[in-house]
Structure 1
Amino acid sequence: MQKISGLRRIHPGWYAGAFVAVLAIAAQVLYSTGIYDSWRDGRSVDRACGGMLAQGELDTALESSELRAESLELDDGYLAHCLVLRADSGRNGSLEMSLRWSTTKPSSSEAFPSGSDIDNGTKGQVAPLGGGWSGVVRNDGSAAVQVALDCRNDRSKALVAYGSFAAPGFAPSKSAAALTGLGRVTTEAARKTAAKYGCEASGGEKLTTVSSPPYGARPNPAKPLGQSTGSCAALRGLAPTAAQNDVPQAMEYPADTQTPQVNCYLATASQKPGYGLFAFYGASAKALRTGGVPSSLKAADEPRDYAWATAKCPQSTEPASFLITHLLEVHSDAITHPVPRYSPDFANTALKAFADNEAKQRGCTDVRMTAEP
């Protein structure tokens, strides 16, 4: 049979070389078009905080579908700690998430509740997260959400999730949608982490809206104490006495029996907060006892302008703490009190009414006035 002299045998090495060349071209295309970076960023978000973050809600919170994530250093006892950032070129926005047990001391960055702010006007305020969740939202320049899920199978602890718009970048905007996205990311992370680690807990429903605390740079107006229907409602009957003690107004929050921290402020006729009433439950009460209480609110030999009470609650082995304090007003050159004179009798009466009502709403018992939280 005659051979065609123009054909040469192709060496197998040629195929290998051609395959390598094709791979190199494909890799160059992936790099130059950003497809690889996008894939890598997507993988990092999928794995963020052990895969506990709700992807679609991250897009809403950070107002972008181009995101990347990185792990952050774990404080002692923390389960996860991560940062999600916008990957769009030149665009700001970042969300930080930490997950821990309530038996673990919160880090200084979490500081929830912030003890140094409790007696400083409304700086220590939080609003109920709502939706049946045991959570709160704070906005003191950068929004943050905390959720604490009590474990039914171990009442000595709760799963705590803390999500915040954090540096670098902070929130991409101050929209209600972004804040609601932060709330959804935090609640979902709490739910998934509790399930992963065997904490039998009840969550809430999908959040439809999350509102910032109402008393900020342009606060909502106070109302007459006798018209209170929310967190100050227990003090309606004390309206005449409150007026005699220079606090005829109430600055209050929606009534919510799930929130781990309750705020009620009694305000002057000029709507400056003069007395602050607080209730702390479960993980928030524990955080307060393990470092959140400012030195000005601890038992001492000097005359006190605050009072404490405690109660036993069925959801947690941690006693609930109730506080009333004489609020400060901090100026650049001085510290003053909107209500010049602190009345121990009025404070004790108001705190007892507040604590008794809170205990009744939560099924707590054994309300006691105490020297410490």
Structure 2
Amino acid sequence: MQTKSGFRRVHAGWYAGAVLLVLALVGAVLYGTGTFGSAGDEGSLDRACDGSLAQDGLSAALHSSHLSADGEGDSDYLAACRVRNRESGPQGSSLELKLRWSTAKAPSAALTWYNADYDGVREQAAPLGHGWSGVVRYAGGTYQVMAALDCVNQKGRALVAYGDLLGTSNGTTLTGLGRVTTETAAKAAERHGCQVKAGERLTGLSTARLGAPGTAKPLSQAQGSCAALRGTDAARNGTPDVMEYPADPDAPQTNCYLVTKAKKPGYGLYAYYGAAAKDFLTSEGDQLKAGYGPKHGDRDYAWATATCPRSAQQAVFVLYHLHDGDTDTYPVPHYSASFARDALQAFAGHEAKQRGCAGVRMTGRS
């Protein structure tokens, strides 16, 4: 015969089991909704990008501290990962990071965004500043931070990082993306024995973009990326104004736009250095490498190269006669090859001097 104490033991065990089951179910629901915070996914963040993911800036970039990470599984990169905001579901904001060595195969044009450099100001690239070798890019409603950190102990090699922000963007999220991308690049470089010159902690990155009439100013007032064009005949060739970025000798890319009286970009001038130059050449295909110029055979352009001390990769300088996609016209109707050559020569010479580059050589079609 079973005693009362036996019944009590059975009931107590049953109640304990039921309580544990209920707690487990409640915990699963709370975890799935993010109520418990991101503690359950801290391990995934620590492992992300082969353990190199810098977490400062993640919550700002993705509007949340409830985050999870997974690997991208792309063998073309040193490391690749994606961080998601778990509060917003599968269609919510996320951040993608890809890391590679500059000596490795350059990525596709889909990642590097150089396929719109002849179309107005679509190929936006503002310097990161704060001592970082990087730029903030904007295209099609999406922002990307690209950083290329030279290995000071390994000449001709750099750790390159691409951070893409998918979701709503503002100054806070963009600054977060910048911190994550630059600090992840520096952390990964250190892990792999590449000594880099890191910049300061990024603050106050802006989503402001060139293109609106208010972003143009007279060429005579150019002091940044278009300063070299002040002594050219740009005004007589239909572009008396400029849209420019602050000058930054650390940035791997420089953009300058010569603008018409109607505040439409008529010529775009671009400089690419190191890993950015390699990316650009890859996006343009084999024509540039063979000396034939950019692949846009129906476009008017001029281009030049130079040898720079920081990289075995030659710097590339390009001028494009810009097309306005909104009106399907050319704001500067008649392209002047002689002016294009003079303008690019002034731009490339000034850029090369700022970077300590030598041997500027005008080449190919003009």
Farther-moved stretch of structure 1 (242-251 vs 17-26): 17-26
> Which range is displaced more, 275-284 or 288-297?
288-297
**What residue number does 1:360 align with?**
353
Deviations 1:267-292 (A, max 9, x none): 11111111111100000001111223
CA distance in 2, matches of 1:135, 1:86: 25
Q: Aligned-pair distance for 1:125?
A: 2.0
Q: Deviations over 1:68-92 (max 9, x none)?
A: 112113142x011111111115583
CA distance in structure 1 between the partners assigned to 2:176 and 2:301 by the alignment: 37
Q: Kindly tell me: are residues 29 and 325 of structure 1, through their superposed partners in 2, closer, same or farther at Cα, counting changes over 3 Å?
A: closer
Match for 1:221 among 215, 218, 225?
215
Task: Return 5+ residue gaps in structure 2 as ranges.
Answer: none
Corresponding residue of 2:117 = 118
What is the alpha-carbon distance in structure 1 between the residues aligned to residue 236 and residue 318 of structure 2? 21
- The Cα shift of 1:102 comes to 1.7
2:303·2:364 contact (CA, 8 Å) conserved in 1? yes
Q: Is the 8 A contact 1:327 1:337 kept in 2?
A: yes
Contact 2:108–2:282 (Cα < 8 Å) also in 1: no
Partner of 2:302: 307
CA offsets per residue over residues 100-139 of structure 1, 9 Å max, x none?
A: 1123334447532x33201111111210011110000012
Question: Do 2:277 and 2:313's aligned partners in 1 also have CA atoms closer than 8 Å?
Answer: yes
Counterpart mapping for 1:272-311 below 5 A: 272-292=264-284, 298=293, 305-311=300-306
Shift of 1:363: 0.8
Partner in structure 1 of residue 331 of structure 2: 338
CA RMSD of aligned residues (A): 3.0
Equivalences for 1:213-292 in 2 at 5 Å? 214-216=209-211, 218=212, 220-238=214-232, 241-292=233-284
Once the two structures are superposed, residues 153-195 of structure 1 have per-residue CA deviations (whole angstroms, 9 ceiling, x without a partner) of 22222111111112xxx23xx3211110110000111100111
State yes or no: 1:181 paired with 2:173: no
Matched-pair contact (CA < 8 Å) for 1:144–1:164? yes
Count residues in correspondence.
353
Q: Return the offset for 1:16.
A: 10
Question: Cα distance 1:299–1:8, how it changes in 2: closer, same or farther (>3 A)?
Answer: closer
- 1:349 equivalent to 2:342? Answer yes
Given the superposition, is the C-alpha separation of residues 329 and 304 from structure 1 closer, same or farther in structure 2, using an over 3 Å criterion? closer
User: What is the CA-CA distance between 1:237 and the residue it aligns to?
Assistant: 1.5
Which has the larger Rg?
A: 1
Counterpart Cα distance in 2 of 1:41 and 1:109 = 33
Is the Cα contact below 8 Å between 1:49 and 1:82 reproduced in 2?
A: yes
Contact persistence 2:127–2:248 (CA under 8 A): yes
CA contact (8 A) 1:139 1:213 kept: no
